[in-house]
C-alpha cells in the first residue's frame, strides 16, 4: 500500500430512516465522526427529517432513483410500496458510489422495514467491503434478504427508536465494529498465482480433491463451492465481484434441479457470471445425471415412478432421462455461448458422476450420449470440446481438467 493511500481518509456510508430515527442516527454519526472518517449519509425515510448532521442523499433523491416521487409516496400511504421503491433507489445510489470507489464501508440501523431497505442497499456493495446492520431482526432468519452477501447483523436488543442506556452502548459498538472492519487489510500477505473457484458435490468430490491438490502445487488459491443451490449462487455472485481469475465448473448439477424443480436449484442465472465477466472457465456437465430431492416421501408425485436413488436418509436423487438431457445440453451450451472469455468444455465419457460410472446405479451411457450430443450441437465453434475417456472422478480426468485450465490462464 502506498503512502498516499494510507493517508487518505476512508469513507463510510450511513444509511437508514432519518425521519423516524434521527436521534439514533445522529448518535451514530457523532460516534463515527471522531474516527476521522468521511461520512456519506443516505436517507431512506419518506417523511420530513430534522437532523443535526448533513444529509448527502435526501429522501427525494432516493425516491427518484427508485423510480418514484417522494411527495407521491407520502400521499399514497402504501408502506410496502414505499419500502420497495426506497430500497431500490438506495441500492442504485450505493452502487454508483461503489463504482466511484467512495465506499470503504457501509452501516445502517433499523426495525423491520428499515432493516429490509438497509440490507437491500448493501446488496450493491461488492464482497470484501464491510457491511454492518444494527437491527431488531438480527436474531431472525434473514437469509432470503441477505442472500449471498457478506453482511454482518448486530442485534439492537431494544428497538431502534430513541436513545437510551442500552442503545447508546450498542450504537457506539456498532460504530467501532465497522471502523475495525474497515481498518483490517484484505490484502493477501502471501502472493499466489491466482484464485480459482471450483464447484463440487458429493458425486464429484474425488475429482475436485484431485484438482485442488494439483492447483495448490502451482500455488493457486482454491475456493470450493458446494453445488447445492446456495453454493452456486455464491460462486456466481463472487465472480461478478471479480474475485476469481478462473472457474473450474466441475459440477453444474444445479441446472438439472432448476429444470425439474429439485431442492438444489441455484436459479436461472447459474453458469452466466463467468461468461459475463470474461473469466476463463473450464466447464463440465458434472452430475447433470441427477436431480436432488429430500427424503423419499418428499419426491413430487409425478416423479415417484422414476429411477430414484437414496444418497442419504434425507437426500433422494432422481436419474435425469433422455428428454431432460436434451434440454440440459441446450441450456448448458446457450449459456456458455455468451462468454466473452475463453471456455473449454470437458466431457467425461465414462460417467459424469460417481454413481454413473460402470456398475453404478445411474450408469446409462445412452442417456449421457444424448447430453453430450446436445451440448456439442448447440455450442458455437469458438468453444473447444475435449472428450475424455474416463469417469469424472478419476486422476486422468482431473489432470486433463487442470491442463485445460492452465492453458487458458497462460494464454
User: Is the pLDDT at 1 greater than 50, yes or no?
Assistant: no
pLDDT band at 192 (very low <50, low <70, confident <90, very high): confident
Alpha helices by DSSP H, listed for 304-394, are 322-337, 365-378
Homologous superfamily of domain range 194-410: Uncharacterised protein family UPF0261, NC domain (3.40.50.12030)
Are the CB atoms for 233 and 386 separated by under 8 Å?
no
Q: What is the pLDDT of residue 6?
A: 46
pLDDT band at 275 (very low <50, low <70, confident <90, very high): very high
Q: What is the pLDDT of residue 9?
A: 83
Residue 53: how many other CB atoms lie within 10 Å: 17
pLDDT band at 54 (very low <50, low <70, confident <90, very high): very high
pLDDT band at 145 (very low <50, low <70, confident <90, very high): confident
pLDDT band at 8 (very low <50, low <70, confident <90, very high): low
Q: What is the pLDDT of residue 36?
A: 85
Instruction: Please give the share of the chain, as a percent, with pLDDT higher than 90.
Output: 88
Among the ranges given (153-162, 185-194, 299-308, 399-408), the one the predictor scored with the smallest mean pLDDT: 185-194
Mean pLDDT of 184-195: 72
Give Cα 344 to chain centroid, integer Å.
23
User: Is the pLDDT at 271 greater than 60, yes or no?
Assistant: yes
Q: What is the pLDDT of residue 2?
A: 39
User: Is the pLDDT at 224 greater than 60, yes or no?
Assistant: yes
Q: What is the pLDDT of residue 5?
A: 42
CATH of the structural domain 10-183, one choice from 3.40.50.12020, 3.40.50.2000, 2.60.40.1730, 3.30.360.10: 3.40.50.12020
Mean pLDDT of 198-207: 95
Mean pLDDT of 371-382: 97
Mean pLDDT of 97-121: 94
Mean pLDDT of 387-395: 97
Mean pLDDT of 140-146: 86
Domain range summary for the chain, segments of one domain joined by +: 10-183, 194-410
pLDDT band at 190 (very low <50, low <70, confident <90, very high): low
Return d(Cα 233, Cα 239) in angstroms, integer.
10
Q: What is the pLDDT of residue 49?
A: 85
Q: Which of 367, 178, 193, 212 is nearest to 285 (CA)?
A: 367
Mean pLDDT of 141-158: 90
Q: What is the pLDDT of residue 411?
A: 82
102 Cβ contact partners less than 8 Å away, ≥ 6 residues apart: 11, 40
Mean pLDDT of 126-152: 91
Catalogue the E-assigned strands of 244-307: 246-251, 281-286, 290-293
pLDDT band at 144 (very low <50, low <70, confident <90, very high): confident
Residue 252: how many other CB atoms lie within 10 Å: 26
pLDDT band at 3 (very low <50, low <70, confident <90, very high): very low
Per DSSP, the residues of 34-98 read TTT-EEEEEE---S----SS--SB-HHHHHHHTTS-HHHHHHH--HHHHHHHHHHHHHHHHHHHH
Taking the CA atoms of the chain, what radius of gyration do you get in angstroms?
25
Q: What is the pLDDT of residue 188?
A: 52
- Residue 239, C-alpha cell as written in the block: 465472480
Average pLDDT, the chain: 93
User: Is the pLDDT at 7 greater than 80, yes or no?
Assistant: no
Return d(Cα 254, Cα 335) in angstroms, integer.
14
User: Is the pLDDT at 56 greater than 60, yes or no?
Assistant: yes
Amino acid at each position: 500500500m502506498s503512502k498516499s493511500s494510507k493517508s487518505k481518509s476512508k469513507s463510510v456510508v450511513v444509511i437508514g430512516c432519518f425521519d423516524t430515527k434521527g436521534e439514533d442516527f445522529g448518535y451514530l454519526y457523532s460516534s463515527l465522526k471522531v474516527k476521522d472518517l468521511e461520512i456519506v449519509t443516505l436517507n431512506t425515510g419518506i417523511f420530513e427529517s430534522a437532523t443535526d448532521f448533513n444529509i448527502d442523499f435526501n429522501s427525494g433523491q432516493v425516491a427518484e432513483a427508485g423510480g418514484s416521487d417522494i411527495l407521491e409516496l407520502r400521499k399514497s400511504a402504501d408502506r410496502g410500496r414505499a419500502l420497495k421503491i426506497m430500497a431500490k433507489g438506495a441500492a442504485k445510489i450505493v452502487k454508483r458510489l461503489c463504482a466511484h470507489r467512495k465506499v470503504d464501508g457501509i452501516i445502517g440501523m433499523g426495525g423491520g422495514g428499515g432493516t429490509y431497505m438497509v440490507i437491500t442497499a448493501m446488496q450493491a456493495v461488492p464482497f470484501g467491503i464491510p457491511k454492518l446492520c444494527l437491527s431488531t431482526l438480527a436474531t431472525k432468519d434473514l437469509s432470503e434478504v441477505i442472500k449471498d452477501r457478506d453482511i454482518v447483523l448486530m442485534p439492537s436488543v431494544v428497538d431502534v427508536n430513541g436513545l437510551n442506556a442500552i442503545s447508546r452502548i450498542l450504537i457506539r459498538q456498532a460504530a467501532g465494529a465497522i471502523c475495525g472492519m474497515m481498518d483490517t487489510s484484505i490484502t493477501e500477505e502471501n502472493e499466489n498465482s491466482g484464485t480459482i473457484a471450483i464447484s463440487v458435490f458429493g458425486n464429484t468430490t474425488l475429482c475436485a480433491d484431485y484438482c485442488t491438490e494439483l492447483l495448490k502445487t502451482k500455488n493457486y488459491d482454491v475456493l470450493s463451492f458446494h453445488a447445492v443451490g446456495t453454493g452456486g449462487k455464491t460462486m456466481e455472485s463472487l465472480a461478478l465481484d471479480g474475485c476469481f481469475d478462473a472457474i473450474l465448473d466441475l459440477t453444474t448439477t444445479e441446472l438439472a434441479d432448476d429444470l425439474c424443480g429439485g431442492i438444489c436449484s441455484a436459479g436461472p442465472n447459474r453458469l452466466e457470471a463467468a461468461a459475463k465477466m470474461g473469466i476463463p472457465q473450464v466447464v463440465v456437465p458434472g452430475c447433470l445425471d441427477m436431480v436432488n430431492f429430500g427424503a423419499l416421501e418428499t419426491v413430487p408425485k409425478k416423479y415417484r415412478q422414476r429411477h430414484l436413488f437414496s444418497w442419504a436418509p434425507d437426500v433422494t436423487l432422481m436419474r435425469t432421462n433422455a428428454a431432460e438431457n436434451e434440454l440440459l445440453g441446450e441450456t448448458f451450451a446457450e449459456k456458455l455461448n455468451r462468454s466473452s472469455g475463453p471456455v473449454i468444455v470437458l466431457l467425461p465419457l465414462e460417467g459424469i458422476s460417481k454413481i454413473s460410472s460402470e456398475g453404478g446405479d445411474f450408469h446409462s451411457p445412452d442417456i449421457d450420449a444424448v447430453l453430450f450430443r446436445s451440448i456439442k450441437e448447440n455450442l458455437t465453434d469458438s468453444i473447444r470440446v475435449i472428450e475424455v475417456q474416463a469417469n469424472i472422478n478419476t486422476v486422468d480426468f482431473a489432470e486433463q481438467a487442470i491442463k485445460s485450465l492452465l492453458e487458458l490462464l497462460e494464454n
